[in-house]
Amino acid sequence: MPLRHSRICKGCWQQMHVPVPLHGVLSVPFRIFGIRPSRMNPNTCTICELMFTKVMRTRKINIDATVLFADLRGYTNLSQSQSPDAMSGLLDAFYDECASAIWECDGLLNKTIGDAVMAVFNFPIKHGDHARQAVLAARAIQQRWSARRKSLTDSLGLAGADLGVGVGIHSGELSFGEFGRSHRDLTAIGTVVNLASRAQTAAAAGEILVTQAVYERAGPELAGSRAHQFQLKGFEAPTMLYAA
Ligand SMILES: [Zn+2]
């Protein structure tokens, strides 16, 4: 499914009310000055990235946001028996489907870590209901991937491979900034990120697990979802997670 890209930068429009064209003839003079769609979210631009970088040179910022982790199950096992080409084709397709789902819900595809992706919602594009947006993105990831998986595993000769996706989501205040000395990395850190990552680990293939905070914020979207207690690594008290 092709992505519907925004014609102007959503970040610049929302924060400064400046229409920065991202596509077509109008964007040409902008591109000469290096202003182009961001690789983390093509509906925002490189000015947006630069703004964050500048803010963060002096200090990190704390934001209320939602973090999503999606992980391709069984990838590591499979990579021991398959060709590197087949495996990278699989991973590219997985990243593509995740990116499309995340961008359609105005999230930032912050990182790809091996066979997992990490996304942040409510930054830089603001959404009052960012927790719900993340849940919608997670469902879209599951739908897109299950539609794509079969033909992909067939064409790559991986028939019978399991390859479901586990997703974890958590909301709250986190720090966004440039961390690391040798390798400067624009990213989010904090307990919210850790718990989202742990929720993802607890999710089975095909499952989406969200925290109490996400459950409360997402409202009717998660009405009737079942909760279970999990003992997550690094967290002393048991954590309640809801299936979305
Ligand atoms: Zn912008």
Dist. CA 224–CA 26, nearest whole Å:
48
- Confidence tier at 1 by pLDDT (50, 70, 90): very low
Residue 153: predicted pLDDT = 84
Distance 195 CA to ligand 1 centre (A): 30
Distance 123 CA to ligand 1 centre (A): 12
Residue 92 phi/psi, 5-degree rounding, is: -60, -45
Q: 58 pLDDT exceeds 80?
A: no
- Confidence tier at 49 by pLDDT (50, 70, 90): confident
- Confidence tier at 123 by pLDDT (50, 70, 90): confident
The string of pLDDT tens digits covering residues 131-177 is 999 999 999 999 999 999 988 888 887 776 789 999 999 999 998 87
Distance 121 CA to ligand 1 centre (A): 16
Distance 46 CA to ligand 1 centre (A): 6
Closest CA to 69 of 163, 149, 133, 138: 138
Please answer whether residues 113 and 185 qualify as being in contact, where contact means their C-beta atoms are separated by less than 8 angstroms: no
Distance 51 CA to ligand 1 centre (A): 9
pTM of the model: 0.88
3-class secondary structure per residue, the chain:
CCCCCCCECHHHHHHHCCCCECCCHHHHHHHHCCCCECCCCCCCEHHHHHHHHHHHHHCCEEEEEEEEEEEECCHHHHHCCCCHHHHHHHHHHHHHHHHHHHHHCCCEEEEEECCEEEEEECCCCCCCCHHHHHHHHHHHHHHHHHHHHHHHHHHCCCCCCCCCEEEEEEEEEEEEEEECCCCCEEEEECHHHHHHHHHHHHCCCCCEEEEHHHHHHHHHHHCCCCEEEECCCCCCCCEEEEEC
Distance 108 CA to ligand 1 centre (A): 13
